[in-house]
Structure 1
Amino acid sequence: MKDQTDANFGKFADPAVTADGQRRASVALSGLRTLWVNTGTLCNIACAHCYIESSPVNDALVYISAEEVSEAIVDVQARGHPLEEVGFTGGEPFLNPAFPAMVEDTLRRGLKVLILTNAMKPMMRPRCRAALERVQAAYPGRLTMRISIDHHGRGLHDAERGAGAFEETLTGMRWLRDAGIAMAVAGRGFSEEGEAEMRAGYAALFAREGFAIDAQDPAQCVLFPEMDLRAEVPEITTACWGILNKRPADVMCASSRMLVKRKGEAPSYAACTLLPHDPRFDMGSGAPERGQSVALNHPHCAKFCVLGGASCAA
């Protein structure tokens, strides 16, 4: 399967070699520390540039059940993986009716939980707020909510997510603040600002709202590079590790996989949170094995993970 755009025509086709015949870089799973769970691609909004095409009508990834998530955690731990954290993403996780049960079960097992959410109306339903208050009281310090704020200004955020989205997300964050639930933020690098300017803008927003988020900490204020498939991206060869002074172990797929449930199929593992629909990155239905290798043959591998240095994990 070729993932070809005009800018990258002929690239990212062969898992073993690049378009110019060099040995393609790959990453081996050293041990699963973060298990991602996609709760389903349905979302309350449709962002202009959603990498997974979530929307109110896209159920290509259907709702996964609490039982299926529990079974996956048991299987992963039985394989001897050093599992520390389960990250939940979507779509919007709080739309899945079984989501509160997943979170509670995961925390009960002694694992940390990271939830990626837009903090809008689905999270603010009484049942969901009650569940968050309950797990925060029972498992203090083990739950973090990572809120998607594409830009620290209302204009760019609402251009991506729809009019009024910025204020609605802030309303949810104010509730989380008052409930004492730890928050982080995920922003996007689509503005003309440099990183220092972006972090200064987020810092001002957090200060105004009284959010206990350090805008200078890359783990608390994650600024993701843009994933534009129209842009030309270099392929990553084995020689790049030395040139870039990076190690395969630094890349997200060395320590994480994502559990997905495609429509009409049993749950299976995707190599990466960014590529759940690409069959080249389907790693099968069984719990991953140490040493399982992922070829970096997608533009996201290069721009987001290797060159961008980004990771979805905390």
Structure 2
Amino acid sequence: MTDAAIAATRRKFADPDRTADGQRRARVALERLRTLWINTGTLCNIACRNCYIESSPTNDTLVYISRNEAAAYLDEIARDRWPVTEIGFTGGEPFMNPDIIGMLTDALDRGHSALVLTNAMQPMMRPGIRDALLALRKAHGGRLCLRVSLDHYTEAFHDEERGPGSFVKTVEGIDWLAAHGFSIALAGRTCWGEDERAARAGYAALIASRSWPVTADDAASLVLFPEMDVQEDVPEITDECWDILKRSPSEMMCASSRMIVKRRGDRNPMVLPCTLLTDTPVFGMGTTLAEAAMAHSAMFDHGAIKLCHPHCARFCALGGGACSAPNRK
């Protein structure tokens, strides 16, 4: 992106209430809190080329959240009767957090579904983690789902994103999950100029060859994320855009989910609108779900999110991305 384009993008998203041409910025209200995401920390065993939040073996901008801290939000859900059905765990790599099994146990024991976003590599494949996962699967069955990041169905493109040898290790992890009866989903990317139909056909061939319990033409079973090119100039989203895009604000993931993170140096975890705004402090909504529901500041209108970040347009409104699978129960 040229310096002029960067300057134009900054002008576009400078005013939380109005777009650069003076139109009212779109807002998304929380309609029903269905998924609560817990970011287990930004540390990861690998450093992907285009990681959405720059996770790596050295990035601890978001520190490990503890089992007790996560449990406090489960307590709040139960006490205040939030209609949460799913607890999602993302990172970084969730299986690097020493409390991940405890957090999964707590979520599942309380009757929630649990969704873990993982690369299915060495952290998940440690013997102690595998034994614990087998126990959770035995106790809770399909309410525990592991969604594995397999960026492409070919080794070359996957390794281009995640590093040499990562495809083989990830496939090994998926093979193990499939062999032991886990509920599995896959997450790919659409950054190689391939249309969705061709991509799903490619995944379908790989899935069939390895007998994985994944349905390639089901958007909940194989999620294909739009590419997040931060160098790309994107339009702002106004109230009029919903009709133009033939989409509803209720389809945005911030209409049904919130994210819990703990930033390095903070005493308490923080509630954010979604999984993509972890590095923008002004999007902090408070330390509890109750505070977040009433958040009112430059970025929020009594809990409604003003779409004042390029990711809001790039990933969600225009890209159709959502970290929770559609219609997941």
TM range (shorter): over 0.9
RMSD of equivalent CA atoms: 1.2
Aligned-partner Cα distance in 2 for 1:5–1:46: 25
Match of residue 31 from structure 1: 32
SS in 2 for 1:198: helix
Alignment of 1:1-314 (within 5 A): 5=6, 8-265=9-266, 266-287=268-289, 288-289=292-293, 292-314=303-325
Runs of 4+ in 1 over 4 A off after TM superposition: none
CA contact (8 A) 1:79 1:289 kept: no
1:7 CA drift (Å): 6.0
CA contact (8 A) 1:77 1:83 kept: no
| 1:308 aligned partner, one-letter code | G
When residues 105 and 178 of structure 1 are mapped into structure 2, their CA distance, relative to the original with a 3 A threshold, is same
CA contact (8 A) 1:5 1:229 kept: no
When residues 303 and 61 of structure 1 are mapped into structure 2, their CA distance, relative to the original with a 3 A threshold, is same
When residues 163 and 7 of structure 1 are mapped into structure 2, their CA distance, relative to the original with a 3 A threshold, is farther
SS in 2 for 1:36: strand
Deviation by residue 1:141-161 (Cα, 9 ceiling, x = unmatched): 101100001111101110111
1:279 CA drift (Å): 1.6
1:280 CA drift (Å): 2.6
1:80 CA drift (Å): 2.9
SS in 2 for 1:294: strand
CA contact (8 A) 1:268 1:286 kept: yes
SS in 2 for 1:55: coil
Deviation by residue 1:87-106 (Cα, 9 ceiling, x = unmatched): 00000000011100100111
When residues 249 and 77 of structure 1 are mapped into structure 2, their CA distance, relative to the original with a 3 A threshold, is farther
Deviation by residue 1:185-211 (Cα, 9 ceiling, x = unmatched): 110111121110000000011011110
SS in 2 for 1:102: helix
1:242 CA drift (Å): 1.8
| 1:15 aligned partner, one-letter code | P
SS in 1 for 2:37: strand
Deviation by residue 1:54-82 (Cα, 9 ceiling, x = unmatched): 00011010000011101111113333321
| 2:100 aligned partner, one-letter code | F
Structure 1, unpaired ranges of 5+: none
| 1:34 aligned partner, one-letter code | T
Aligned-partner Cα distance in 2 for 1:6–1:89: 32
1:245 CA drift (Å): 2.1
Structure 2, unpaired ranges of 5+: 295-301
1:243 CA drift (Å): 1.8
Match of residue 299 from structure 2: none
CA contact (8 A) 1:70 1:102 kept: yes
When residues 124 and 300 of structure 1 are mapped into structure 2, their CA distance, relative to the original with a 3 A threshold, is same
1:264 CA drift (Å): 1.4
SS in 2 for 1:258: strand
Equivalent residue pairs, number: 311
| 2:270 aligned partner, one-letter code | S
Aligned-partner Cα distance in 2 for 1:53–1:294: 24
TM-score, with structure 1 as normaliser: 0.96
Identity %: 53
Bigger mean CA deviation after superposition, 4-13 or 67-76: 4-13
TM-score, with structure 2 as normaliser: 0.92
